[in-house]
A and B are shown apart, each in its own frame.
Chain A
Amino acid sequence: MSGQERHVVVVGAGPAGLAAARAAADAGARVTVLDAADVLGGQYWRHLPDERPAGREHLLHHKWDTYRALSDALRAHPAVTVVPTAQVWSLEQVSSPGLVSSSGRRDGVRLNVLVGEPDAAGRAARTFEPDALVLATGAHDRTLPFPGWQLPGVYSAGAAQALAKGERVAVGRRVVVAGAGPFLLPVASSLLRTGATVLGVHEASRTGSLARGWLDRPWELAGAVGKAGELAGYVGELVRHRVPWRPGEAVVAAHGDGQVEAVTVARLDARWAPVPGTERQVEADAVAVSHGFTPRLELAIAAGCALTASRFVIVDDTQATSVPGVWAAGEITGIGGADAALAEGAVAGAAAAGGDLGAGAAPRAIRSRDRARGFAARIEAAHGIRGGWVRWLRDDTVVCRCEETTYGRVREVVELTGSHETRSVKLTSRAGLGPCQARMCGRTLQDLLDDGGTGVDRRPIVVPVRLGDLAATPTSSTHTASQPQET
């Protein structure tokens, strides 16, 4: 079939989405890229906006040339429309008998989108019913609760990173970086480049699991050598700045009157439980903490895409999901970093456009995708969350930041109701019912309750929508908004 008339919509303009859009356009499709942000690049290439053009932006990024090449190509391509500030707020499954697409598909999806300044009233309502959809919505970082983590001055590591890169704001003068995973290294690097003193990088995983995760199949690491080189660069920077990197340690509490003034660091055992007697206080005015990433699955779930047991979107070798007409790439399919996201995006875009995966740039993209895949498994093996962390909670530790539900309250509700089902514990304790829709605490609650369901990831309305905007939305979407479909 000729790709000409096929309309591919890509949601997300991070590494995965940009690569997908380019590949789809190169394969002959008409392409629309939607991203809620007003600048392209996603999380990895978060940069200063056009109002503050940086002369040496590349100092803050890896593969900045790749970003420039991709975004320039998309802007210049006549078949590509990029729509910034486009928040997809819901996805409906539709069957439109009158609307048989060129691919012969009758069933499809409808994206409901608001275009305009974030959270403004009166944004332009638009809907899209693409022939093919590529989801590249990425991930946000996940922070496990600890006493005092609600104090101003405690940031997710992603926030420290976003503020350093996108605002040139230093979150503090004396900063502690903590959590788990290779992501802590670029965060420490960016903090140093804001002039902050990084007092230490505390990695929860101990050297044993780090060695097992990273060294047991060294040939895979060779495949992801670009990533290894990038990480080695960060390590060198930490050494030059004499920043201690300490495996097997965690920030187990933050202290201060109204804002952070100090943190408690403790050693952890292999299960991430604090070792009694190893606590020490460190004076700091900011903490950047992240224990991994949570994929943004709302749209994939609304489309009906099947998920893995560890809750990533299942894709085949062409990045196709279980739903015909829907492809997925990047961190929603596994936390593999930007190189994996780029390669997956390129494969997904070509496939969604109906392109020949045996020709052009596709075979190379498939090979680098296959090489990058091992990386996600390594990160999980080396840095994955271990259950002992709950030992650093106290009864008065806030678990749900929005509703300020404490760990003690969650335990009380479990005792009173005898329920270990997240949904019912949420309704009684109010944990997870606030405006973030359990993005911050949902998976933590599930871990505390030992409930592995996908319920907490289901958000039929992706972000809160003002009532006025809802009324302005064309067609049946208003109906969906008040009656979330169970998918």
Chain B
Amino acid sequence: MTSRRIPAAADPVRPGPDRPLTIWVDGEPVTGTAGQTIAGVLLGAGRRQWRSTGQSGAPRGVFCGIGVCFDCVVEVNGLRDVRACLRRAQDGDVVAPQGGPFGEPGAGRSDEHDGPEVAR
């Protein structure tokens, strides 16, 4: 496992006791602790890629960690385009890796506007 969460008991910073929660990724349970983001749960469990890009299908996970790059987007409980690094995980969240282009089908990205003005 490369990325991992520091167990509360072993952490000099002494975070409050772990309150485990489970999210479902592709039908598999992944456990984290209350207060983590979805990206935090995934990385903490050693998973660091959960999306494939629209063009080449290359794997992606977290890059900027603060909501700016959109590399980490996932589908959460049926809703696409959620930034996993910002969204706090809730017990029972169903997370699906998101392929294909960003944005609601039909919403249309307007190239004229230099980006997805009303992307979703």
Interface centre among B11, B66, B85 (most CB of A within 10 A): B66
Contact in complex: A167, B36 (CB < 8 Å):
yes
The chain B residue with its CB closest to the CB of A260 is B2
Given contacts A170-B4, A403-B55, A427-B111, contact A159 B62 (CB under 8 A): yes
Q: Which B100-120 residues have C-beta < 8 A from chain A? A: 102-104, 107, 109, 111, 113-120
Contact with B along A30-62 (1 / 0, CB 8 A): 000000101000010000111111111101100
CB atoms of A153 and B2 under 8 A apart: yes
Indicate whether A404 sits within 8 Å of B62 (C-beta atoms), given known contacts A38-B88, A434-B102. Answer: no
Binds B, one of A98-106, A113-121, A353-361, A367-375: A113-121
Contact at A484–B82, with CB atoms within 8 Å? no
B18-46 at interface with A (beta carbon < 8 Å): 19, 33-37, 39-40, 43-44
**Does B97 touch A at the CB level, under 8 Å?**
no
- Among A50, A169, A170, chain B packs the most CB atoms within 10 A around the CB of A169
A166 to B107, CA, bound (A): 34
In angstroms, Cα B103 to Cα A427, docked, is 18
Bound-complex Cα distance A467 to B88 (A): 23
Known: A48-B35, A163-B43. A118 touches B63 (CB 8 A): no
Chain B 80-103, CB-CB to A under 8 Å as 1, else 0, gives 011101111000000000000011
Cα separation A154 to B61 with both chains bound (whole Å) = 10
Are B109 and A56 touching (Cβ within 8 A)?
no
In the complex, what distance in Å separates the CA atom of A173 from the CA atom of B88?
25
Could you tell me the distance in whole angstroms from the C-beta of B94 to the nearest C-beta in chain A? 15
Cα separation A423 to B68 with both chains bound (whole Å): 20
**8 Å CB contact of A434 from B3, B37, B70:** B70
Can you list, as one digit per residue, whether each of B48-80 has a CB less than 8 Å from chain A (1) or not (0)? 110001011011111111111111010000010
> Do residues A465 and B115 form an inter-chain contact, with CB atoms below 8 A?
no
- CB-CB nearest in chain A for B36: A167
Given A117-B87, A433-B115, CB of A59 within 8 Å of CB of B81: no
Interface range for B:
35 or more
Interface size, A (range):
35 or more
Does A285 interact with chain B (Cβ within 8 Å)? Answer: yes
Residue picked from B12, B36, B69, most chain A C-beta under 10 Å: B69
B48 nearest in chain A by CB position? A152
Instruction: Give the distance in Å from the alpha carbon of A171 to the alpha carbon of B68 in the complex.
Output: 18
A258 at the interface (CB under 8 A from B): yes
Q: Which residues of B contact A170 (CB under 8 A)?
A: 3-6
A435 touches B70 (CB 8 A): yes
* Most B C-beta atoms less than 10 A away, residue of A48, A259, A432, A435: A435
A440 touches B64 (CB 8 A): yes
Q: Is B120's CB under 8 angstroms from A51's CB? A: no
- Docked pose: A286 CA to B8 CA in angstroms: 23
CA distance A55 to B8 in the complex (A): 11
A56 to B120 CA separation, bound complex (whole angstroms): 41
CA distance A171 to B5 in the complex (A): 9
On whether the beta carbons of B67 and A118 are closer than 8 Å, the reply is: yes
B117's partner among A121, A141, A460 (CB-CB below 8 A) is A460
Q: Determine whether the beta carbon of A54 is less than 8 Å from that of B15.
A: yes
Return B76 CB to nearest CB of chain A, in Å.
Answer: 8
In the complex, what distance in Å separates the CA atom of A348 from the CA atom of B49? 42
- Are A152 and B61 in contact, CB atoms less than 8 angstroms apart? yes
Query: In the assembled complex, how far is the CB of residue B8 from the closest CB belonging to chain A, in whole angstroms?
Result: 8
Verify if A364 is at the interface (C-beta below 8 Å from B).
Answer: no
Taking the closest CB of chain A, its distance from the CB of B56, in whole angstroms, is 6
Q: A51-B34, A465-B118 are known contacts. Are A119 and B81 too (CB-CB below 8 A)?
A: yes
**B residues less than 8 Å from A150 (CB atoms):** 58, 60
CA distance A401 to B120 in the complex (A): 19
Give every chain B residue within 8 A of A159 (Cβ-Cβ). 62-66, 85
Q: B-contacting residues of A (Cβ < 8 Å)?
A: 36, 38, 43, 48-57, 59-60, 117-121, 140-141, 150, 152-156, 158-163, 166-173, 193-195, 258-259, 285-286, 401-404, 423, 426-427, 432-440, 455-456, 458-461, 464-467, 470, 481-482, 484
Q: A171-B43, A435-B115, A458-B114 are in contact. List 13 more A-B contacts (CB 8 A).
A: A48-B15, A118-B82, A155-B62, A168-B5, A259-B2, A426-B114, A427-B111, A432-B114, A436-B68, A455-B114, A464-B102, A466-B120, A481-B118
Give the interface of B toward A (CB within 8 A). Answer: 2-6, 8, 11-16, 19, 33-37, 39-40, 43-44, 48-49, 53, 55-56, 58-71, 73, 79, 81-83, 85-88, 102-104, 107, 109, 111, 113-120
Give 30 CB contacts A-B under 8 Å.
Answer: A49-B88, A50-B35, A52-B33, A54-B14, A55-B15, A56-B12, A59-B12, A60-B13, A140-B64, A140-B66, A152-B60, A153-B48, A158-B65, A159-B63, A162-B66, A163-B40, A167-B44, A168-B11, A169-B44, A170-B4, A172-B2, A403-B55, A404-B56, A427-B111, A433-B115, A435-B81, A435-B102, A438-B115, A456-B114, A481-B117
